[in-house]
């Protein structure tokens, strides 16, 4: 199914869902490195049925996991729906029942108040569990080999983030939740910690300056940073038939900073001008300051204004935010790092929360203010060198994911994997690059006979 662009752009082209669940042996050209053994798991929205909401949003489709399994130079592929309670209810009914983001105005009364989780945004491995994540519900466990749905991990007791951070030194998974509380689209937030064994050892609630879509956050060795930016949530607005989430720049931008071992009452709110960040690359601390490298938009893309009118086109660029913990000012200092539009920044996760040297991201070499990226970029912060591998023919790339050559290899020594949509053939490939030489092109390509729809995030798990 390729959808109908007249109905909704998020149901057309490579945004459109694929509804078959398949197991495929892939044709490989080049040579998959012998040391690359494991799976790249990717996840994205894939509506099971035509959405009932004419304003269906990309972020609101049912989750589908795509597993690329590599070993001994061979590649196989498997995809499965995340069978959430919402998926099961709609599957039994044979039609869509829930509105976008659970909007009660566009939800079938028969399922009002039922779990509307879609588990479609990120997929992570922690403490022996493969978990599909989204922003409004607890993690949903999947079997790593079969991709069978296991169910919610009940220990999280409610909303969690799609973007936890795993501390490479302690093995802890640090996370947050937003929209926490009895009322949907509230300003309530949570801060949580899961220890290296998978036990949730902390969950504390606090109030943000206003209700915001807090897609991601930053963690350093000793601190957490909660960005509350003016992509606002409003139940009252939604009940009037206006957007549940909308751009309200007059509210400004805030980042709450707290020590990881402190009480949430100690959060200090820093501020900057109106902007939006979906994803940071990394954050770290030194000499009484916190640093965060983030993909910053002048305004949130993909969402309308509060009156329902379309938002302006906007693209992200990598900038560095500095927070002076010893200073009297709560202003965030900002400096540009790169002049290329991009998204989905990643790093060698063994250096997450610490000072680092290497980063990768999906890029738009045309600087065309689009969410569609046609290149993969590597930045070496020590030398200032940027390498770019550009796709041609309208091909577009997913998030690039780094895998170290060995557990103790130097930072950035390894491979980058990315799923690419081949526009002219309307199918997808898995590409493997030498991580510090992406410009020379892939060392291996695993070819799919069909496409993988545009999704969000992925992570590598070594076997």
Residues making up the annotated binding site for Fe cation are: 163, 215, 279, 457
Residue 167 CA to residue 158 CA, distance in Å, equals: 22
CA angle 298, 299, 303 (to 5 degrees): 160
Count other Cβ atoms within 10 Å, centred on residue 371. Answer: 18
Find out whether 217 and 224 touch, Cβ atoms under 8 Å.
Answer: yes
> What dihedral angle (degrees, nearest 10) is formed by the CA atoms of 214, 216, 219, 224?
10
DSSP 8-class letter at 212: B
Sequential DSSP letters for 73-110 = TEEEEEEEE---HHHHHHHHHTS----GGG-GGGS-GG
Binding-site residue positions: 163, 215, 279, 457
Find out whether 64 and 44 touch, Cβ atoms under 8 Å.
Answer: yes
Sequential DSSP letters for 285-316 = EETTEEEEEEEEESS-TT--BTTSPPPPP---
Residue 346 CA to residue 382 CA, distance in Å, equals: 17
């Amino acid at each position: 199914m390729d959808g109908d662009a007249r109905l909704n752009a998020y149901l057309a082209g490579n945004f459109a869902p694929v509804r078959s669940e398949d197991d495929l042996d892939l044709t490989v050209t080049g040579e998959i490195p012998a040391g690359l053994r494991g799976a790249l798991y990717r996840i994205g929205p894939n509506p099971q049925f035509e959405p009932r909401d004419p304003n269906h949003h990309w972020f609101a489709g049912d989750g589908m996991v795509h597993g690329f399994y590599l070993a001994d130079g061979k590649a196989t592929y498997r995809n499965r729906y995340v069978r959430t309670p919402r998926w099961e209810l709609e599957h039994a009914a044979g039609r869509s029942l829930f509105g976008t983001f659970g909007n009660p105005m566009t939800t079938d009364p028969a399922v009002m108040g039922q779990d509307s989780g879609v588990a479609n945004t990120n997929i992570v491995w922690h403490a022996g569990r493969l978990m599909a994540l989204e922003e409004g519900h607890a993690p949903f466990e999947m079997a790593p080999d079969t991709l069978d749905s296991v169910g919610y991990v009940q220990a999280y007791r409610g909303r969690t983030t799609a973007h936890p951070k795993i501390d490479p030194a302690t093995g802890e998974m640090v996370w947050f939740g937003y929209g926490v509380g009895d009322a949907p689209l509230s300003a309530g937030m949570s801060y949580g910690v899961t220890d290296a064994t998978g036990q949730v050892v902390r969950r504390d609630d606090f109030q943000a300056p206003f209700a915001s879509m807090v897609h991601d956050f930053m963690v350093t060795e000793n601190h957490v940073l909660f960005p509350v930016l003016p992509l606002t949530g409003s139940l009252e607005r939604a009940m009037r038939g206006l957007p549940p989430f909308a751009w309200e720049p007059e509210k400004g931008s805030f980042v709450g900073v707290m020590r990881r071992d402190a009480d949430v009452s100690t959060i200090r709110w820093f501020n900057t001008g109106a902007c939006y960040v979906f994803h940071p690359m990394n954050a770290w601390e030194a000499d009484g300051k916190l640093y965060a490298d983030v993909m910053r938009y002048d305004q949130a893309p993909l969402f309308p204004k509060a009156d329902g009118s379309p938002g302006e086109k906007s693209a992200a660029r990598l900038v560095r935010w500095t927070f002076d913990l010893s200073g009297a000012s709560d202003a965030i200092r900002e400096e540009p790092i790169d002049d290329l539009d991009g998204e989905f920044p990643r790093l060698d996760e063994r250096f997450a929360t610490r000072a680092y040297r290497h980063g990768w991201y999906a890029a738009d070499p045309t600087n065309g203010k689009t969410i569609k990226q046609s290149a993969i970029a590597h930045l070496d912060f020590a030398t200032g060198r940027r390498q770019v591998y550009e796709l041609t023919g309208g091909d577009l790339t997913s998030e690039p994911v780094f895998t170290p050559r060995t557990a103790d290899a130097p930072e950035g020594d390894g491979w980058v994997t990315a799923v690419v949509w081949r526009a002219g053939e309307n199918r997808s490939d898995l590409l493997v690059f030498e991580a510090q030489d992406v410009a020379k092109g892939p060392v291996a390509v695993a070819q799919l006979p069909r496409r993988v729809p545009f999704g969000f995030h992925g992570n590598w798990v070594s076997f």
